[in-house]
Amino acid sequence: MPTITTSGATLDVNGLVTRLVAAERAPYDNRIANSEARLTTEFSAVAQLKGAMSSLQSALGTLKAASDFQIRDVTLGDDQFFTAATTADAVPGSYQVEVRQLARAAQLGSAAITGGATALSGTGTLNISLGATSFTVELTDTASTLADLRDAINEAAFNPGVSAALVTDVNGTHLVLGSSLTGATNTLRVTASGGNGDLARFAYDPPTTTAMTELTAPQDSIVVVSGYEIHDPDVTIEGAIEGVTLALKQAQPGTTTPMNVAIDNAGIRDKVGRFVSAFNVLANQISKLRSYNPETKAAGPLLGDAMLRGIESRISRLISDPVSGLGSSPYTTLASMGITRDANGALKLDTTKFDAAVAIEPGAVARLFASESGVAGRMSDYIDGRLADDGEVAARDATMAARRKDIDKQKQALEARMVVFQARYLKQFNALDSLLTQMQSTSSYLTQQLSNIPGIN
């Protein structure tokens, strides 16, 4: 008996639609992914360029002023009595320094009082002066112990630097007053008034009143520099020698220490060396960004980039152009001072030639870098302009940011388009699936009816 046959299978609508949608969006995804990868690479490349330029700018910042080259070096015959530090104002020269006396702060101590911190100190008012500044503390019947007196002094609002402590020995407890200020003029004075009169045992106002004992007399530092006696209220002496600060450590009357102040050529060379290193980092970075390997056909991320070519070209000219306005000086270029470029464009510093130039003309390096048209100033101005908010590097950042937004919009548009595409396919394949189901049902019905016709075989 003949029969009508069908596949008997229903469609995997979701699977079919998913594969069709994936096939439809694949070329768009690839194009967007490629654009995103290129943009990310460019972002990274420009960031690396900015970092190298900023590092060079920082190195140039230490070479733009003439004072940057007035580095002084100080050497001592012996540092057990004092140390010395210099500024650019220090004049080279040799000195003999004798530390006769170190500055000291005043300290007073009371007679022993039995009973410790809780012993009664008395009531009334103490007027305490440190040099020309004074303050008062008051003790009442409700707060009149030694501890109260100590705390009142330490916590006084206008205390200029007097500290109070309680020291207990075999005889009892003593109130000890100390000054935070050294120097002969910073004397401690204490007068008492009012109350029950017991505070009078803490008075010290010589020559009339000396109830307390002067444990340490205040005094100035005394230093003799090349025969000139200098008094100072501190152990750190500034201004005795222009541009030199002496930090006193130990007094040794009669012993002189030689001190020599000289131009620090090594320090100047180190500064220039840091500039050379920073320039080479930038030159190397630019070389990588514009590189091309003919064997592997690998290209740098900014190969052929107009901004990069412009920066490299301009910096090369700025580094090699002579400095104008230096008169007849033979040192008008970096090369004349031993700073030359190799075949790869990197700077190298010939220290022997550099030191010789500095020895012949000490101010040459300062004029070469820090004069009005000096290397540091003109290069720094150029880099400032490139990195400024309205500079070309910032403009490139803005362009890349706009491209990033455009890619995000493309992603959103693609998602919306794929939603419509998926809905259309779902509708079509669901209709087809319904039709196939109907056809299968019809086929089954016809087969059954044909099988019931007599003699059909």
Q: What percent of the chain has pLDDT over 70?
A: 96
Report, in this order, helix, strand and coil percent for the chain, each rounded to 5: 45, 25, 30
Which range is least confidently modeled, 53-62, 77-86, 213-222, 446-455?
446-455
Same domain, yes or no: 387 and 328:
yes
Residues 45, 300: Cα–Cα separation, whole Å:
9
Q: Could you tell me if 346 and 236 lie in one domain?
A: no
Residues 350 and 436 in one domain: yes
Which pLDDT belongs to residue 454?
A: 67
Does the pLDDT of residue 448 top 60, yes or no? yes
> What residue numbers bound the domain in which 231 lies?
72-102+221-263
Please state, in angstroms and as integers, the Cα–Cα distance from residue 61 to each residue in 169, 267, 386, 414, following that order. 60, 16, 16, 50
Q: Please say which residue of 234, 263, 292 terminates a domain.
A: 263
Structure tokens at 120: 């009664």
* 55 pLDDT more than 70: yes
CA 336 – CA 365 distance, rounded (Å)? 10
> Which band of pLDDT confidence, cut at 50, 70 and 90, is reported for residue 10?
low
Q: Which residue has the tokens 């969006």?
A: 25
> Are 312 and 426 contained in the same domain?
yes
Return d(Cα 72, Cα 89) in angstroms, integer: 9
Residue 360, pLDDT above cutoff 60: yes
Element (H, E) at 165: strand 162-169
Tens digit of pLDDT for each residue in 75-124? 999 999 999 999 888 888 999 999 999 999 999 999 999 999 999 999 99
CB of 236 closer than 8 Å to CB of 245: yes
pLDDT tens digits along 420-439: 888 887 787 777 767 767 77
Q: What element of type H or E holds 46?
A: helix 13-61
User: Per the structure, how many domains does the chain have?
Assistant: 3
- Residue 4 CB neighbour total at 10 angstroms: 13
Residue 348 near residue 280 (C-beta atoms within 8 A): no
pLDDT at 306 over 50: yes
Global pTM reads 0.63
Neighbour tally for 274: CB within 10 Å? 16
Residues 138-144: what's their mean pLDDT?
94
Which letter, b or e, does each residue of 390-425 get, where b requires 16 or more Cβ atoms within 10 Å of its Cβ?
eeebeebeeeeeebeeeeeeeeeebeeebeebbeeb
Domain boundary pick from 185, 200, 216: 216
Element (H, E) at 349: strand 347-349
Condensed to tens digits (0 to 9), the pLDDT of residues 257-282 reads 999 998 888 888 999 999 999 999 99
- pLDDT of the residue at 456: 52
The CATH number for 179's domain is 3.30.70
Chain centroid, CA 238 distance in Å: 29
293 and 307 in a single domain? The answer is yes
CB 196, CB 124: distance < 8 Å: yes
Mean pLDDT of 440-450: 72
Tell me which range, 58-67, 241-250, 361-370, 415-424, is most confidently predicted by mean pLDDT.
241-250
**Same domain for 290 and 416?**
yes
Residue 295 and residue 397 in one domain: yes
342 and 241, same structural domain? no
Closest to 149 measured CA to CA, from 169, 189, 120, 171: 120
For residue 361, pLDDT beyond 60:
yes
Task: Round to the nearest angstrom and report the end-to-end CA distance of the chain.
Answer: 5
265 Cβ contact list (under 8 Å, min separation 6): 355, 358, 359
Same-domain pairing of 172 and 57: no
Mean pLDDT calculated for residue range 277-296: 92
| pLDDT for residue 7 is more than 80 | no
Q: Which of 263, 279, 295 is the last residue of a domain?
A: 263
Report helix, strand or coil for 400: helix
Rg over alpha carbons for the chain, rounded to the nearest Å, is: 44
What phi and psi, each to the nearest 5 degrees, are found at residue 452?
A: -95, -5
Residue 455 has what pLDDT? 57
* Confidence at 3, pLDDT banded by 50, 70, 90: very low
Which residue is listed with tokens 């109260």? 148
What is the C-alpha separation between 91 and 243, in angstroms, rounded?
7
Quick one: pLDDT at residue 11? 63
For 337-391, where are the alpha helices, taking DSSP H only?
A: 351-360, 364-370, 375-387
Residues 66, 158: one domain? no
Report pLDDT for 4.
39
Which pLDDT belongs to residue 163?
Answer: 97
Q: What pLDDT does residue 226 have?
A: 95
210 in the same domain as 159:
yes
Spatial distance between the Cα atoms of 358 and 345, rounded to a whole number of angstroms: 25
Average pLDDT, the chain: 90
274 and 239 in a single domain? The answer is: no
Q: What are phi and psi of 123, to 5 degrees?
A: -120, 160
Number of residues assigned to the chain: 457
- DSSP state, residue 334: T
Virtual torsion, Cα 301, 304, 307, 312, nearest 10 deg: 90
